[in-house]
Amino acid sequence: MQPITLISLTDPGQALAKRLLTLMPGAEHLYRPQPFQDAVRERFQAGHRLILLCAAGIAVRTLGPVLRDKYQDPAVLVLDEHGRFVVPILSGHEGGANEWARQVSAFLGAQAVITGAQRYTQPLLIAGLGCNRGCPLEPLLALLDQILTHHGLQRSDVHALASIELKRDEPGLHELAATLGVPISFYPAIVLNEYADRLSRKSEIVFRETGCYGVAEAAALAHAERLVNHDYRAELLIPKQKNADATLAIARIYGNRDG
């Protein structure tokens, strides 16, 4: 995955960046780097996705001289220091900045300001799941409810479930789908491995057991991208969470509810 750098210039911006680090714990945070323009340009040219907590004008003037094209430039978001607005200013579609802006705004309770042409209608949330053999409904439902509540979501926001083919015969997963009133799909490990580089973390243990480096996140992404027929990638809205019996992640993509 591309590295992420957050750059802040004010005390409120620094506090906001620290909040965002809980969403993207592997990210780098620079506070008032000197010289500012060199620090931003160096990371941009190295392929870092950027979150700039500053005025949009500063961002534009800083990055203007090093822009290449929308297929090569990494995604860049600009946020006001109080986290009210999230603006993708570069690589909105091709680089995934629009989807990233929606993820960040959902986390902060902010407004994503998407200025490019919108081809989507509404967000579709897919819950990807992994579980221990014979896992009953209760821990699956408890984990789902815990995650949804923490992120201000409801059961009705979940459009579908997905898991690995190895779990097709798990009654608990089918009971969860029935409880939610949504379909569930299963994917072979070879398909889930197509998403290995997009996982928040690869697990060698999971690979030895299943043949793929992660089940919940990969299944959520795989099913989301098969729901909607367009060229844009699903985003990992909520990385893998777990309890003693199961793992769960949520991916988001934009399309028609009946798609």
Residue 15 pLDDT level (bands cut at 50, 70, 90): very high
Helix (H, G, I), strand (E, B) or coil at 253: strand
Whether pTM > 0.85 for this model: the answer is no
Whether 119 shows a pLDDT value over 60: the answer reads no
Residue 259 pLDDT level (bands cut at 50, 70, 90): very low
Cα torsion through 59, 38, 21, 162, rounded to 10: 70
* pLDDT (average), residues 54-62: 92
The HSE-up count of residue 37 (CA atoms within 13 Å, CB side) is 9
pLDDT of residue 30: 96
For residue 113 the two structure tokens come to: 């300001």
Q: CA angle, 141 as apex, 135 and 147 as ends, to 5°?
A: 120
Helix (H) or strand (E) holding 211: none
Smallest Cα–Cα separation from 257: which of 174, 159, 182, 162? 159
pLDDT of residue 54: 93
For residue 140 the two structure tokens come to: 């699956």
Contact 228, 105 (CB under 8 A): no
What domains can be seen in the chain, in order of their start residue?
Answer: 4-112 (3.40.50.11220), 122-255 (3.30.420.180)
Whether 77 shows a pLDDT value over 90: the answer reads yes
Residue 35 pLDDT level (bands cut at 50, 70, 90): very high
Q: Distance from CA of residue 68 to its chain's centroid?
A: 25
Whether 24 shows a pLDDT value over 90: the answer reads no
pLDDT of residue 255: 67
pLDDT of residue 213: 81
Whether 1 shows a pLDDT value over 70: the answer reads no
* pLDDT (average), residues 132-161: 94
* pLDDT (average), residues 84-97: 81
Distance CA 63, CA 84 (A): 23
Smallest Cα–Cα separation from 183: which of 162, 164, 156? 162
